[in-house]
Amino acid sequence: MKVQLGSQTYAGYAKDLTEWLYDQYGIENHHPTVMRHCLVSHQRGRNKGDVHQIVYAWQDFVRCAIKGYDDYKSIMWVWGSEGAWGLEAIHRIVLHEFAHVIQAEDGKVFCGSVHNEYFVEKVQELLVIVPFEEFGLKFMAG
């Protein structure tokens, strides 16, 4: 039960931070959502009316609560540490997925190369604009 409560809090945080980022960047979007049986993803396509939507995976929030979150090994260095747990891990998931939104919006997604140099630049930009130390608890107050 404790994990579910924490995961629900994490889901709310992820959705609130994502909405805030969409507003800050002025990007049209479908509201972010959380699904129990899916992979975390950024979606944009004909079925979405070419509008962005981030779908977060419930199991990723549970994993963040229990084991922590590690990004892809090829870009782990971007975060400046080995991993993160709890709310900081959720913060990383949001920034990772939102970097894909910016990347797609700017036309920098290439087949077979989504975690490319442009993506890394956007993650680094987001880390400066939305540091966990400042924004970690901002959306928890509700």
pLDDT digits (tens, 9 = 90+) for 66-86: 888 776 777 777 877 677 888
| pLDDT for residue 12 is more than 50 | yes
Q: Please report, as a single letter, which amino acid is at residue 107.
A: G
Higher pLDDT, 42 or 120: 120
Indicate whether 75 belongs to any domain.
Answer: yes
Kindly state the percentage of the chain with pLDDT values over 70. Answer: 80
Confidence (pTM): 0.83
Domain assignment present for residue 140? The answer is no
Domain count, the chain: 1
Q: Which residue has the higher pLDDT, 69 or 12?
A: 12
Whether residue 47 is contained in a domain is answered as: yes
* 50 Rama class: left (phi>0) / alpha (psi -120 to 50) / beta: left
Residue 131 within any structural domain of the chain = yes
Domain span at residue 50 reads: 2-135
Rounded percentage of the chain residues whose pLDDT exceeds 90: 20
How far apart CA 116 and CA 43 sit, in angstroms, is 18
Higher pLDDT, 119 or 61: 119
pLDDT band at 95 (very low <50, low <70, confident <90, very high): very high
Contact, 58 vs 11, CB < 8 A? yes
- With respect to residue 26, please indicate whether it lies within any of the assigned structural domains: yes
Q: Does the residue 141 lie in any domain?
A: no
For residue 123, the SS3 value is helix
E-strand ranges in the chain read 33-35, 41-43, 53-57
Q: Is residue 142 part of a domain?
A: no
